[in-house]
Amino acid sequence: MKKIINNPADVVKEALNGLCLAYPDQLEYIPGAEVISRKEKGDKVAVISGGGAGHEPLHAGFVGKGMLDAAVSGNVFSSPSPDRIGAAIEHMNAGKGILLVVKNYSGDIMNFGLASDLADADGIEVETVVVKDDVAVPDSTFSTGRRGIAGTVFVHKIAGAMAEKGAPLSEVKRAAQHAIDNIRSMGMAMSPCTLPAVGKPGFSLGEDEIEIGMGIHGEPGVERTSVKTAKETAEILLDHILADYDYTGSQVAVLVNGLGGTPLMELYILNQEVQRYLKEKGIAVYKTLVGNYTTALDMTGCSITLMKLDEELKELLDAPCDTPALKL
């Protein structure tokens, strides 16, 4: 295993600490709880997200003005405990309520749910939205219902912008859910990832083989097939998305996301094909993000996310944000 790490058991805490050390004026790291939070608590609804590590910059990289107030990390590909989530809630609670943005994985649903119940019992108002943007499969290895993947970044942006405006919890939740309702994603993997604690790839793909619809933990997709061109990749992934949700005639935000081991050059090329195909389909692109936003350790591959926009979502998407991984 070739990784720039120390002890495999320490990768999560060391990565969070290392992130925090790059932004000492903006971020705070709470060791043990494995929470990255904004240094200043706002007099506002706090938006908190989190989940397993290994998807960097998700989630901690999106902590900052206009996006998340805190991110809680579990171990690699493993949900954070209710205790850790509770620590984040307690730390960022300003009395205006908490919105939890949870990706739809059974462990996360259970642990964020327990933490929410415990906070409720302490008199903290907590609401939750669940991101399930991956159209690949109806149920998956670790989820009942669709998986939450890169579309989560848009949910962080929309919820964070609404909270930053000083909106009440009910409004922040409504906006986040409105974003979720309009977001769909689908991905493709070209090589497996290696968990630091395991030391070898979790599965294998042939020399010329890729998997369409694979999850960000290596969960099965819809098809193993031969390597596709960028054009074919864009069309296959977008066809799945468009078959699920009719974006025709609407304006969308696009996220062309890399899975960690795929260089930016390839994502730029993929973006060319995504933009071309959306134009062909009569879908107008309002804003595009291209980069590694939601990864799966060193997995190579990509995902494409669309969010249908109305005036409210456009305004919230355009609102300034200042986080390590996204600044607008």
Active site residues: 55, 217
Contact 175, 186 (CB under 8 A): no
Residue 22 or residue 121: which is nearer to a copy of itself going by CB? 22
Distance separating alpha carbons of residues 184 and 177, to the nearest angstrom:
13
* Shortest separation between residue 235's beta carbon and a copy of itself, angstroms: 12
Of 219 and 298, nearer to a copy of itself (C-beta) is: 298
C-alpha distance from residue 33 to each of 12, 74, 205, 253, 284 (Å): 11, 9, 36, 34, 42
Among 170, 249, 282, 327, binds a copy of itself (CB under 8 A): 327
Contact status: 21 vs a copy of itself (CB under 8 A): yes
- Pick the closer one to a copy of itself by CB: 10 or 120: 10
List the structure tokens of 193.
């990832």
- Sequence-distant (6+) residues with CB within 8 A of 117 are none
Contacts to a copy of itself from residues 52-71, by CB under 8 A: 53-54, 56-57, 61
Q: How far is the CB of 169 from a copy of itself (least distance, A)?
A: 30
Whether the CB-CB separation of 36 and 29 falls below 8 Å is answered with: yes
Contact map string, positions 217 to 246, toward a copy of itself, x by CB under 8 A: ----------x-xxx-x-------------
Distance (Å, whole) CA 183 – CA 245: 9
Beta bridge partners of 183: 307
Cis bond upstream, residue 82 (ω within 30): no
Of 18 and 166, nearer to a copy of itself (C-beta) is: 18
Stretch that binds a copy of itself, among 103-111, 127-135, 137-145, 261-269 (CB under 8 A): 261-269
CA 90/CA 97 separation, integer angstroms: 11
Residue 295 CB, shortest distance to a copy of itself, in Å, is 6
Residue 193 near residue 311 (C-beta atoms within 8 A): no
Residues 111-150 that bind a copy of itself (CB under 8 A): none
What is the DSSP annotation of 280-297?
HTT-EEEEEEEE-SS--T
Quick one: DSSP state of residue 243? H
Q: Tell me the closest approach of the beta carbon of residue 78 to a copy of itself, in angstroms.
A: 14
- HSE-CB for 325 with a 13 A CA cutoff: 25
Residues 283-312 that bind a copy of itself (CB under 8 A): 288-290, 292, 295, 297-298, 300, 302
The binding site for a copy of itself (CB under 8 A) comprises 1-6, 11, 14-19, 21-23, 53-54, 56-57, 61, 190-191, 208, 210, 227, 229-231, 233, 256, 260-273, 275, 288-290, 292, 295, 297-298, 300, 302, 324, 327-328
